[in-house]
């Protein structure tokens, strides 16, 4: 399907979703969210890893589209936030690992988009932040909550309260990104990580993602029960039998996702 504001490309089992509104620094508006939702729904089980990035050289996503938001009222704002949170939730709970390749400004909604991904890698030129309070509002697409869970309550408050932008190096120090790469190496690195993930059982990766995401909000006893359930379910799969047989036969496993 052809979209106006995004591109969805597939290279084997790796899909790349690019927010492509370079004149607006890839800002997120209603149409972009709806196109992202359609693209995410279109991904089948043949997609084993999704990389999310921004078009052009300046921005991953510079934020939500202020031109669209400036004149809306409270009810429309709640609807826009609900749409954004729905799309971020779809990304967060997608049945395969997701990688954010933060190639430039990731501010406001852009930072929230990265936070909804499983792994975040950044270019040396990237700047990250949640500056919504400088506009008289707060993050609306899950940023206050995912950021707190990732970097801790006090650091999240500092970032949200000040609205400051941080460099990629600072973001790594805070635990907001995993690694910082030269701009020309960023996608190469993300593709290399995706390649490593492709060697592993897709059903196992999906279960690992599920128990980590859902377990993080539970007490330890409940989270461990989720883990044991996921562990047990995988023993009814062809992938488990193939993985252990391959190990014993000292050969690479050929996982089928069944």
Enzyme catalytic residues: 112, 132
Tally of CB atoms within 10 A around 106? 34
Taking the C-alpha atoms of residue 87 and residue 59, their distance in angstroms, rounded to an integer, is 20
Phi then psi dihedrals of residue 204, to 5 deg: -65, -40
Tokens of residue 28, six digits: 């997120």
| Sheet (strand 119-123) strand order | 6-11, 14-19, 49-54, 98-102, 119-123, 179-181
Tokens of residue 61, six digits: 């996503």
| Three-state SS at 96 | coil
Which runs of E-coded beta strand occur in 85-155? Answer: 98-102, 105-107, 119-123, 127-129
């Amino acid at each position: 399907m052809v979209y106006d504001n995004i591109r969805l490309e597939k290279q084997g089992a790796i899909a790349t979703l690019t927010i492509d509104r370079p004149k607006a620094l890839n800002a997120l508006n209603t149409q972009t969210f709806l196109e992202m939702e359609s693209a995410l729904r279109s991904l089948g089980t043949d997609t084993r890893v999704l990389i999310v990035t921004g078009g052009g050289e300046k921005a991953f996503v510079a934020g939500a589209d202020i031109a669209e938001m400036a004149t809306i009222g409270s009810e429309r704002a709640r609807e826009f936030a609900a749409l954004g949170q729905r799309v971020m939730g779809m990304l967060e709970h997608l049945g395969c690992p997701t990688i954010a390749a933060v190639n430039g400004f990731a501010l406001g909604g852009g930072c929230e988009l990265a936070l909804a991904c499983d792994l975040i890698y950044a270019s040396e030129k990237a700047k990250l932040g949640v500056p919504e309070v400088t506009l008289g509002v707060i993050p609306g697409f899950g940023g206050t909550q995912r950021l707190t869970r990732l970097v801790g309550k006090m650091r999240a408050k500092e970032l949200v309260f000040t609205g400051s932008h941080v460099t990629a190096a600072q973001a790594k120090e805070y635990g907001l990104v995993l690694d910082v790469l030269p701009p020309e190496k960023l996608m190469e690195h993300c593709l290399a990580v995706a390649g490593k993930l492709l060697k592993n059982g897709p059903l196992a990766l999906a279960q690992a993602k599920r128990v980590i995401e859902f377990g993080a909000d539970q007490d330890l006893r409940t989270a461990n029960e989720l883990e044991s359930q996921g562990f047990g379910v995988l023993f009814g799969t062809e992938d488990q039998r193939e993985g252990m047989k391959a190990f014993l036969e000292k050969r690479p496993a050929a996982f089928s996702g069944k």
